[in-house]
Chain A
C-alpha cells in the first residue's frame, strides 16, 4: 500500500481529478495548501507599497493505491498537472502500513 501526495497548481486540479477518476481511483482527499519551490512567490502592490508574497496557493491531493498501481497513478497525475511552466508542483510516494475503512472495519486493499 502506498500514499501518493501531489501538490499541484489550483487550476490543474479539475483535470487531475478527472484523470484519476478515469484511471479508476476510488477516492482522494484534497487540501488547499500554500507554499513555494523554485517558482518562489510574486509581488503585489497596495497603494504603492510592494509586498513580496512568498507563498503561492496550491492544491494538495492525497491518494491511496496498491503497490502495483502506484507508478501508474503518479504518471496520471503528472500528465494531467503538467503545464511545462515553473511552479507545476511535486508528487511523492510513501509506504503505508495499514488502511481501515471506518464503517466496516475492512483492512488493507479491501478498504480502498
Chain B
C-alpha cells in the first residue's frame, strides 16, 4: 500500500465532502428568504441518500467490473461485498479500495445536489428526494462508469475528463434543464424581483467550494504526485482568471463589479478546469478560465430569452462551463495530445452524456411527477416552502416576545407555537 497516496486521497475525500454544504450556502444565499432552508436542505439531503445508495449498489454499478460494452458495472460489489480494509486498487503500490470508494462517493453526492439550484422555491421536498434517488441510480452511476472505469466506453474512447466535466457538470447541468422543463417556472418568473437574500452567504459558499475543489480536482490524480500538483495549480489559476472574465463582461455590459458575479465567475472557472486541468499548462488554464468566466456570464441571460426558469443558473454555469472545459482541453492538451482528433473525442463524450442524461432525467422527472407530484401547491409556493415542508423559518424577524414569525400572526397561531414549545 502507498501510504502517501492513501493519506492524500482520504484528505481529498473530506475536502470534497465539504463542497456539498458549501453548495448549499452558495445556492441558499441566492434564493428569497421564504425558501432559504429548503434550498440548503435540497443539497444537504444528498449526503444522506447517496451515501446509503453508494454502499447498497452505487459503487458496484459505477466501479464494478464491466457487464459488457462499457455501459455499466456488475453487481459483484453490492453492499461492498468482497471489499475489506486490506483490498487495494492496482497492485501492491495501490491505495485501499475503501479510500477510493469514499472519494468517489463524494462526487456522487454533490452531482445531484448541483441540480437543485435550477428548481429553487417550487418543488416538494419528498419529490426531490425521490427524484435524486432515481437520478443517481439510473443516470449518475452509469455515466461515472462510462467515464472513469477502465472498461467504460468513454474511457476507452480516450475522452479526457480528469475530474468530472462530463460525468458531474454536463450531466447535472443538462439533467437540471430536463427537470426544469417538466416542473415549470416559478410563479412570477420574469415579473417579480427575485433578489438573492444573502450575498455574504453566497460568497461564503463560493469560498468553501473553491477550497474543497482542490480535493475534487487534485485528488482525482488518486496519488500525491506531480499530476496532482499541476492540477491544483491550474485549479487556482483558472478560477482566478474566470472571476476576472466574468467581472470584465459584467462591468462592460451592466456597469458594475458585482459580488454575485465574482462568486459565480469563480465557480464557472472551477467547473471548466475540472475536466481539463491535468492536461494543460498554467497558460492553458488562464485561457480556459477567462473564456469560461466571460461566456458563462453571458450564458446566464439565456433563460430569460428562451423562457426556461433555471432559477440559479445551473445550465448557464455548470452545463456551459462543463462544455467549455471539456471541448477546450481537446485543443489545448499538452504533450502532443491536443488537436482536432482529440477535440472530436471530447465532443463525442460531451454530447453522448448530454443526450443520455437529458432523455433519462426528463423521464425520471415525469415519473416523479406522476407518482407523487413534483411541484409544491401554489399556496405553499407563494407563502414559502420552508414552512410547508420543513416547519421552520430561516431567520426570526419578529422582535416581539421572541416568538417565531408564524404564517398568520393570529393569537391562535401564537398559542399553537407556545403549546409546541412546551411539548419539546
B-contacting residues of A (Cβ < 8 Å)? Answer: 44-53
Kindly report which residue of chain A lies nearest to residue B246, judged by CB atoms. A47
A49 neighbours in B (Cβ, 8 Å): 301, 304
A45 neighbours in B (Cβ, 8 Å): 250, 254-256, 258
Interface positions, chain B 55-77, Cβ under 8 Å from A, are none
Whether A48 pairs with B250 at a CB distance below 8 angstroms is yes
Chain A nearest Cβ from B120, distance in angstroms = 13
A46 neighbours in B (Cβ, 8 Å): 195-196, 258, 260
Whether B193 pairs with A48 at a CB distance below 8 angstroms is no
B300 neighbours in A (Cβ, 8 Å): 47-48
- Selected from B195, B196, B254, the residue in CB contact (under 8 A) with A48 is B254
B residues contacting the other copy or chain, number (CB 8 A): 17
Interface positions, chain B 237-280, Cβ under 8 Å from A, are 250, 253-256, 258, 260-261, 264
Chain B nearest Cβ from A65, distance in angstroms = 27
Kindly report which residue of chain A lies nearest to residue B30, judged by CB atoms. A46
Q: List 30 A-B contacts (CB under 8 A).
A: A44-B195, A45-B250, A45-B254, A45-B255, A45-B256, A45-B258, A46-B196, A46-B258, A46-B260, A47-B258, A47-B260, A47-B261, A47-B264, A47-B297, A47-B300, A47-B301, A47-B313, A48-B250, A48-B253, A48-B254, A48-B297, A48-B300, A48-B301, A49-B301, A49-B304, A50-B254, A51-B193, A51-B195, A52-B193, A53-B193
B250 neighbours in A (Cβ, 8 Å): 45, 48
Q: CA separation between A48 and B256, bound complex, in Å?
A: 10
Among A45, A46, A51, A52: residue with most chain B CB under 10 A: A46
Kindly report which residue of chain B lies nearest to residue A45, judged by CB atoms. B254
Q: CA separation between A10 and B330, bound complex, in Å?
A: 55
Interface positions, chain B 266-308, Cβ under 8 Å from A, are 297, 300-301, 304
Q: CA separation between A48 and B304, bound complex, in Å?
A: 10
Q: CA separation between A101 and B225, bound complex, in Å?
A: 76
Kindly report which residue of chain A lies nearest to residue B317, judged by CB atoms. A47
Chain B nearest Cβ from A88, distance in angstroms = 25
Closest 9 interchain pairs by CB?
A: A51-B193, A45-B254, A47-B300, A48-B301, A46-B260, A45-B256, A48-B254, A47-B260, A46-B196
Kindly report which residue of chain B lies nearest to residue A54, judged by CB atoms. B193
A44 neighbours in B (Cβ, 8 Å): 195
B256 neighbours in A (Cβ, 8 Å): 45
B195 neighbours in A (Cβ, 8 Å): 44, 46, 51
Q: CA separation between A45 and B300, bound complex, in Å?
A: 13
Apart from A44-B195, A47-B261, A48-B254, list 8 A-B contacts with CB within 8 A: A46-B195, A46-B260, A47-B260, A47-B300, A48-B253, A48-B301, A49-B301, A53-B193
Q: CA separation between A48 and B313, bound complex, in Å?
A: 12
A47 neighbours in B (Cβ, 8 Å): 258, 260-261, 264, 297, 300-301, 313
Q: CA separation between A51 and B190, bound complex, in Å?
A: 10
Kindly report which residue of chain A lies nearest to residue B249, judged by CB atoms. A48
Chain A nearest Cβ from B195, distance in angstroms = 6
Q: CA separation between A51 and B260, bound complex, in Å?
A: 14
Q: CA separation between A50 and B300, bound complex, in Å?
A: 13
A52 neighbours in B (Cβ, 8 Å): 193
Q: CA separation between A51 and B313, bound complex, in Å?
A: 17
Q: CA separation between A42 and B255, bound complex, in Å?
A: 14
Chain B nearest Cβ from A95, distance in angstroms = 29
Among A46, A47, A49: residue with most chain B CB under 10 A: A47
Among B195, B297, B313: residue with most chain A CB under 10 A: B195
Q: CA separation between A51 and B193, bound complex, in Å?
A: 6
B253 neighbours in A (Cβ, 8 Å): 48
Q: CA separation between A45 and B301, bound complex, in Å?
A: 12
Chain A nearest Cβ from B16, distance in angstroms = 26
Chain B nearest Cβ from A60, distance in angstroms = 16
Q: CA separation between A25 and B304, bound complex, in Å?
A: 54
A50 neighbours in B (Cβ, 8 Å): 254
Q: CA separation between A45 and B195, bound complex, in Å?
A: 9
Q: CA separation between A52 and B196, bound complex, in Å?
A: 14
Chain B nearest Cβ from A59, distance in angstroms = 16
Chain B nearest Cβ from A32, distance in angstroms = 11
Chain A nearest Cβ from B30, distance in angstroms = 8
Q: Chain B, 194-237, contact with A by CB distance < 8 Å: what is the 0/1 string?
A: 01100000000000000000000000000000000000000000
Q: CA separation between A51 and B256, bound complex, in Å?
A: 14
A51 neighbours in B (Cβ, 8 Å): 193, 195
Kindly report which residue of chain B lies nearest to residue A52, judged by CB atoms. B193
B313 neighbours in A (Cβ, 8 Å): 47
